[in-house]
Structure 1
Amino acid sequence: MSNRVAVYCIDYYPSESGYSFAFQELVKGLLEHEDGLWVDVFTPVPLGSSAEVSQERLRVFRLNTPGTIARVRYVRFLWATFIRPWLCARFIVARAKSEQYRFILFESLDDYFVARFLPKRLRDRIIVRVHATSETEYAVWGPGFLQRMKFRVIRSLLRRSIRYIAATSAFHLAFVKRWYLNEDQLLMADKRFMVIPNSVPTHPRASHSSAYPDNRINFLTLGRMDVLGANQKGFDDILSSLALLPAESRRRVRFTFIGKGSERARLMGIARVLEPAEIEFIESLPNQDVSRRLHDSDCIVLASRYEGMSIFALEAIAHGRPVIFSDAGGIADLVDGNGFRYPAGDAVQLSHAISRFLGLSNNERCALAKRSLEVASRFTSADSARRLMGFARLMGP
């Protein structure tokens, strides 16, 4: 049996997106916890001026950086949708001839045409790990031609070509079975399924002690603030929940929003009328500064209407922070005695959860923070790597 595997990552280092961190962590887990395994990462992400990832038994192949012709207005669509994925697939095919990969892991099906353009002999060795909203909720219900095409191609791949289907949460594995496989019992009996969660390391500065010198409680949330992002992340629900608090409770709230997009100015306008709450909007921060903000916050709020296994949510518990999360998708699995969970989209219940947190004693908040670290310990790269390799053994030699 080959000791080399391939991982296709639509996003990867040096990008600082949640996808990128999730993919990097699984690759790291494979290399650290599977003795003798070699990993080839294929990614369309250009390296730019950054130094390449250097890790024993890892090779990174940067695929098809567009030339000048790909920037031409009438060529851009064809390049992004068809030509680049076809070239990526051809490169993977060429490498697979010499390497005989044990399997090819597709980290998400967002780049669905790359998988579609592979020959059947390689599609038979694909494991796909479904991550989140862009390949599930957006693909199924998103408007426009591109979303309809994406849904149909992914459905065809999962129904006809790909037998080994993983997801980062039980919620999205069930989503795939319902919306892509139509809960066809005979079809699903021929598929193999596995939950392989995202993971993050416990942060070295994580602690579960906090002080409140000005009696303000620091809340933090993060997400895109374009129309789709703002709707998904429930920022209006957060602001509505703060409006429902009595003035004496709002006086104790210091709430930070991190994100940029077309809805940011509108959200800031709403926030101005919520005094005496102290509300700050930060457009963007590098990951190390987000980490500092997490460490300095008293409670992390994620009010998503729909969500995958959010890296931001995992980072929150890995920093030892109490949480208030909606029960949407994969983040529901991250609340277990370390904070409060409420029905997605219910601003009244979110307001109650914030009020309950404000009413806790310092010792009670510290206990929630300690529990977050315990919950985070369930989501390790070692466990995710073991699940993936165990799943792959079902393919045989």
Structure 2
Amino acid sequence: MVDAHQTFVIVGGGLAGAKAAETLRSEGFTGRVILICDERDHPYERPPLSKGYLLGKEERDSVFVHEPSWYAQADVELHLGQTVTALDRAAKALTLGDGTRVQYDKLLLATGAEPRRLDIPGTGLAGVHHLRRLAHAELLRGVLASLGRDNGRLVIAGAGWIGLEVAAAARTYGAEVTIVEPMASPLHAVIGPELGEVFTDLHREHGVVFHFGAKLTEITGQDGMVLAALTDDGEEHPAHDVLAAIGAAPRTALAENAGLDVVPRKEGGGIAVDAGLRTSDPDIWACGDAAAAENPLFGVRLRVEHWANALNGGPAAARSMLGQDVTYDRVPYFFSDQYDLGLEYSGYAPPGSYDQVVVRGDLGRREFIAFWLKDGRVLAGMNVNVWDVTDPIQKLIRSKKAVDTTALADPNTELASLVE
């Protein structure tokens, strides 16, 4: 039975928001829980959109966080297809797109991120795509199947995780794929130049064409349909469809317009929160893709866009809202699947933050673990087609201790022994 003595409102119907609602109930909160989502679908997980669901290996219903009936059973008031247009902090009220005002005692912003757009001519043509929402994946799945049947061509702008995963899916369907990437290798912002060649070789072996050191400048078409993608070095790539995979921007407008502290884009963007995921307003929290949190483990403010951050950040924010002592210091983690390559990445080591990369295993066979180190300390680790090592990798990161790099590179040395 719901007791209306307090109302907790969650804005954002992704994994973070749904898990926050679930945690409020599992922790014994008996007040009203209102979950507002601007999509008409029930809250769902995003990794399948570029992996199993896009490949046709998973059914649509498999992406949802909870069964639709769960929300009523848990007394969670679910508002689907509703946009929050304004946040009045003084009145502790939200205004929805239909004019409804919703009062709150405590508020959680789990507003997520949105794909960055190509600011070039031709983006209004049919056949120019983004991948962020379930509707995008549904459309793109049909597009890739059609391209595969007709020997069609897909140009992808960006060789990040989404770009590479969609490329793998497109080649699995049989489509011709060209990836245009301004850096000299894939995934530069995450793994640096040292290991980019692993992914270049993987995709080239599967028929993907890379065009490095270039950006799209125009998408040309005829009768509203895509014909080609032009790059700033004068190249023209024939295309039937184009995917913009140039990153995601945190959805901070609601917070910013309400006067909450936000992080500048050049510093990663996001709603600024402390280690307890509380914003500059004591009654408002933020989590997931939209939040830039102080991470005591790394000593920096981090905004993490991956599944594990939503999975763990939503519950952490919910517990903080309930007055529990929360320090959100998890090691960032994500995973990717491309063809027969599977990987897990733990840690935080952007280019410039490390001075050494150590590899144990076989790069050629793509069965290895790579470690990024600074002064002998492990900042991050990526296991590729090597499994059940996430825990010791994260312990190495958490220990902040200098390790014997010879032992670290030796597959016969147990990782666990390096942190004992």
Greater RCO structure (CA 8 Å; 6+ sep): 1
Larger strand share, 1 or 2:
2
TM-score range (shorter-chain normalised) is 0.3 to 0.5
Q: TM-score, with normalisation over the residues of structure 1? A: 0.34
Larger helix share, 1 or 2:
1
Q: TM-score, with normalisation over the residues of structure 2? A: 0.33
